[in-house]
Chain A
Amino acid sequence: MMSTPELAIGSQQGSLLPEIYRVEEVIPETHDTFTLALIPQEGEPMTFAPGQFNMLYAYGAGESAISISGDPDLDGASILHTIRTAGTVTSALRGLRPGDSLGVRGPFGTSWPMEAARGKDVIFIGGGIGLAPLRPAIYRTLNRLERYGRVRVLIGARRPRDLLFMNEIAGWPVETLVSVDRATERWRGHVGVVTPYVRNLEIDPGNTVAMICGPEIMMRYAVMELLNHGMRPKDIFITMERNMKCAVGFCGHCQLGSEFICKDGPVFSYETMQFWFAQREF
């Protein structure tokens, strides 16, 4: 059954008590985005499923829900979070240095449908910072490439300087297309929003799973193109972004209809979310 995202496997699912982690490394990614590599003060790093997120607590500033962006198959490795500086908490996180500590709760939420996609073609579509929550799923696919059919990755960003992980993307052994809305003189890649490229893909609609992460307006247009190819809503997966506070479905800040984005998502099949995508100002 494809319409249900896989459940979380995290050992700390549902925790309200932060654990203390230490910053191992701060990796600059773009002019406004960075990656924190975190290790627990005690014990082994958590296990997580691709698509899950943690609540990162910057002391004195507050908590923020941040997707895990690292490789889920690297045992004992530090946990990576790629963060765009956007507000008080993320600015405080940007100020952390190696050796500093912070609170971590998680992992929370549903995951990308990696098992359900076995034997099928897979299309990843990431827009802007949305590539970060997709990267664990891409890593999982690359780690087990024999399990999947044709794998394609489409990446879009506003400008070349906004593109994430460019040093490693060129080494991914799958078809990858990178496009920017506004090119610079030195840019030699594609120009234009990423969604029209979906139109030109060869897609076997009954045997393809799509995973999309980016701003909701981008996801809406990407979904439209996939549906035009004949893909079924239950085979298209998106990740929803809302104001998550407790991360365990208690507080209701992220409630959307009957769904709590933190607990029932953030990864949903489009079949589950299509009603909301059709509503204005949802």
Chain B
Amino acid sequence: MPTTNLEPYLAKHSFFSGLDPADIEEIAGCAKNAAFKAGEYLFKQGENAEFFFVLREGHVVVEVPTARGHSIEISSLGENQILGWSWLMPPYKYQFDCRALKQTKVLEIDGRCLRGKCESNPRLGYELIKRFARVMTNRLQETRLQLLDLYGAPADRS
């Protein structure tokens, strides 16, 4: 029996699918819904990484602030994607800025709350580590592809 209305959503989400219902319940206990308006920051570089996010609706951009005052966008994320892993490892600080490009609804999961549960439940901790490792690997590969400059070579026949 779900204890919050977030459990069915989490159980169906590809990132959490296959987790033990008890673990889903633990995660849901650290989660709450939140919304950000277009232009609003989900977090900024250097802030305490208190949360990670499941994007339910909307579109956000991860960016690096520069010394000249503007930001360089390095990645964007949309519906169903997982955002943020700085909560998982010291120094628990966000490494980038993240800004909503339009009205964005998220599931905000409290990192400190979940870390505590992982310490006392290593099986949950290991499952989450494996899943975040996959997200991080994918992001690393995406970044490498960006560095490859895939579109640099002409594709026309001239």
Does A associate with B in a complex? yes
CB contact between A86 and one of B73, B75, B154 (< 8 Å): that residue = B154
| Alpha-carbon gap, A200 to B14, bound state (A) | 10
> Which A residue's beta carbon lies closest to that of B145?
A193
- Cβ of B142 and Cβ of A129 under 8 Å apart? no
Min C-beta distance of B99 to chain A, whole Å = 11
- Cβ of B155 and Cβ of A215 under 8 Å apart? yes
Interface residues on B, range: 20 to 34
- Cβ of B150 and Cβ of A181 under 8 Å apart? yes
| Alpha-carbon gap, A89 to B154, bound state (A) | 14
> Which B residue's beta carbon lies closest to that of A183?
B73
Q: Mark B69-104, 1 if CB is under 8 A from A, else 0.
A: 011111110101100000000000000000001000
CB contact between B152 and one of A89, A158, A192, A200 (< 8 Å): that residue = A158
- Cβ of B150 and Cβ of A127 under 8 Å apart? yes
| Alpha-carbon gap, A157 to B157, bound state (A) | 18
The number of A-B residue pairs with CB atoms under 8 Å apart is: 107
| Alpha-carbon gap, A259 to B79, bound state (A) | 42
Min C-beta distance of B137 to chain A, whole Å = 11
> Which A residue's beta carbon lies closest to that of B62?
A191
Min C-beta distance of B126 to chain A, whole Å = 24
- Cβ of B155 and Cβ of A130 under 8 Å apart? yes
| Known contacts A193-B142, A200-B80; A64 and B150 CB within 8 A of each other | no
Residues of chain A within 8 A (CB-CB) of B1 are: none
- Cβ of A67 and Cβ of B157 under 8 Å apart? yes
| Alpha-carbon gap, A242 to B154, bound state (A) | 11
CB contact between B156 and one of A189, A216, A221, A241 (< 8 Å): that residue = A241
Min C-beta distance of B154 to chain A, whole Å = 5
Residues of chain A within 8 A (CB-CB) of B101 are: 188
B158 within 8 Å of A (CB atoms): yes
B153 within 8 Å of A (CB atoms): yes
Q: DSSP majority for the B interface?
A: mixed
* Interface residue ranges of A60-96 to B (CB < 8 Å): 64-67, 83-84, 86-87, 89-90, 93
Min C-beta distance of A54 to chain B, whole Å = 10
| Known contacts A188-B101, A191-B61, A199-B138; A129 and B154 CB within 8 A of each other | yes
Residues of chain A within 8 A (CB-CB) of B154 are: 84, 86, 129, 215
| Known contacts A66-B157, A83-B156; A214 and B76 CB within 8 A of each other | no
| Alpha-carbon gap, A190 to B102, bound state (A) | 12
Q: Mark B127-148, 1 if CB is under 8 A from A, else 0.
A: 0000000000010011001101
| Known contacts A84-B158, A90-B158; A179 and B151 CB within 8 A of each other | no
| Alpha-carbon gap, A200 to B138, bound state (A) | 11
A213 within 8 Å of B (CB atoms): yes
| Alpha-carbon gap, A66 to B59, bound state (A) | 37
Min C-beta distance of A217 to chain B, whole Å = 6
| Known contacts A158-B151, A188-B101, A215-B151; A83 and B145 CB within 8 A of each other | no
* Interface residue ranges of A179-231 to B (CB < 8 Å): 179, 181-183, 185, 187-193, 195-196, 199-200, 213-218, 221
Min C-beta distance of B145 to chain A, whole Å = 4
Residues of chain B within 8 A (CB-CB) of A266 are: 157
A51 within 8 Å of B (CB atoms): no
B149 within 8 Å of A (CB atoms): yes
- Cβ of B149 and Cβ of A86 under 8 Å apart? no
A162 within 8 Å of B (CB atoms): yes
A128 within 8 Å of B (CB atoms): yes
Known: A127-B155, A129-B156, A213-B155. 18 other contacts (CB 8 A): A65-B158, A83-B158, A86-B154, A128-B150, A157-B151, A158-B151, A181-B146, A183-B72, A189-B76, A190-B59, A191-B61, A192-B142, A193-B142, A196-B142, A214-B151, A218-B150, A241-B157, A242-B157
Interface residues, chain B, with chain A CB atoms under 8 Å away: 59, 61-62, 70-76, 78, 80-81, 101, 138, 141-142, 145-146, 148-158
